[in-house]
Amino acid sequence: MVDREKVETVLLRRFPGASRDQVAAAANAIMGLDDEWEEVVGQEEELGLHFSVQCGDICHLAREINNGSEFRLLRRRAAA
């Protein structure tokens, strides 16, 4: 389970100009993620630096990972 205080701390550091209300709203949204979202794990080959039509998104993520950034990537689950 995600710790709300840690989420707020990360948001405050990442967005220092954000108001407390904005941080609270963002934390509520993050805490409210339900089962329709899944963490993207085990797909490193899709995040590599390679030619792709989607390179704008994928290459940016790969650069962030290579630069040591830590984050969790979520995607909406396919409808059953």
Look at residue 1 in the predicted model and tell me its pLDDT.
63
**For residues 66 and 80, what is the distance between their CA atoms, to the nearest angstrom?**
34
The whole-model pTM stands at: 0.49
Query: Which parts of the chain sit beneath pLDDT 50?
Result: 49
Residue carrying structure tokens 């409808």: 79
Give residue 39's pLDDT.
Answer: 74
